[in-house]
Structure formats: C-alpha cells, structure tokens
Amino acid sequence: MVKGMYDLVNRLILEHKGTFENKWAKHIEENDVYGTTVKRKMYVTDEKERHIHIYHSISKESSERTLLAKKLRQMK
C-alpha cells in the first residue's frame, strides 16, 4: 500500500490504463482480476525502484457501471 502517494498512483493508473485490463496473459485466476507490475521510484530522491502492482477487476467495473446507470436514470 502506498499511503499519501495519490498523485503517483493516479498517474501510474492513467499511464497504464487500457494496456492490461483485458489481456489474458495478465489475468490472475486466483483472484479473478487482471494485473500488472510497474517499476518506479516513489520519490525524486529515492535510490531504488519499487515494484508497484496495479489491478483491475472486471466484476467490480460491471457493478460500478450498473450503479452509475441507475443513478443517471434517477436523475432524468
């Protein structure tokens, strides 16, 4: 977990969005998610690169889309 590193995490997610979410080679069957590992320095002064794991859940995406669609219908 990278508490207090919102900007770094957000930037990494946006940089890698669409590159692994639906690729079978990136599927982690035990957790039914897709994932990738990125090596980055967490701070400018950091001396070594850290491994940061990014995950995407298709089922969570589906449920969030359903909730969003429901909210939009209620707004009409």
The secondary structure of 34-63, three-state, reads EEEEEEECCCCCCCCCEEEEEEECHHHHHH
| Residue 1 pLDDT class (50, 70, 90 cuts) | low
Which residue ranges make up each domain of the chain? 6-75
pLDDT in tens, 11-58: 999 999 999 998 999 999 999 999 999 998 888 898 999 999 999 999
| Residue 3 pLDDT class (50, 70, 90 cuts) | confident
Distance of alpha carbon 22 from the chain centroid: 12
H or E, element range at 38: strand 33-40
